Amino acid sequence: MTIRSIAAPASSASKPRPMLAHDHSQCISTALARAEQLCADSGARLTPLRHRVLELIWASHKPLGAYDLLDQLAREGHKPAPPTIYRTLDFLLEHRLIHRLASLNAFLGCSHPGDAHAGYFLICQACGTTEEVADTAGIQRAIREATAAAGFAVQQGTLELSGLCQQCRDD
């Protein structure tokens, strides 16, 4: 199973967990370049605000809520209203550039943007670390079989599993 690590949310009471070793600036620039290309290919406008919000989401490497984004933009001198941020997040979701974690009411960058896929996330209840499961063939097959047997057609799916990460279990 392949997992992409996302750091703990800002509200986590525990100490933040270290990220998996990677070049942080490279992953941000790769995500933004991919988003720019996907938007150009589809004729969608990645406005400066949409670009900046996506950049903030990727730069944080943790799930961020709409008001977290508003606060960061305000510190930079921008004054977008909440509806503007929500429209921006809706655009990023619609173009599959980010995921929304309902249980956290927060957003994080999609590790394979533009691809039609369900999001599968492991959320540590102790430290808040959130990991996106990337190798999902077995999960998808089980869901497809279960929904077909029920005569149910899935329109959109996100699976959030809460528990304890290895490091918290070892602590």
What is d(CA 129, CA 9) in angstroms, rounded to the nearest whole number?
7
Averaged pLDDT for residues 37-53: 95
Contacts of 41 (CB under 8 A, 6+ apart): none
- The pTM assigned to this predicted structure is 0.76
Residue 19: pLDDT over 90: no
Split at pLDDT 50, 70, 90, the class of 57 is very high
Residue 13: per-residue pLDDT: 38
Nearest to 55 by CA among 78, 43, 143, 12: 78
The C-alpha angle 90, 93, 95, rounded to 5 degrees, equals 110
Pairing relation of β-strands 158-163 and 119-124?
Answer: parallel
What is d(CA 113, CA 118) in angstroms, rounded to the nearest whole number?
11
Split at pLDDT 50, 70, 90, the class of 25 is confident
Give buried/exposed letters for 91-114 (b at 16+ CB in 10 A, else e): bbeebbbbbbbeebebbbbbbebb
Residue predicted with more confidence, 17 or 73? 73
Residue 81: per-residue pLDDT: 93
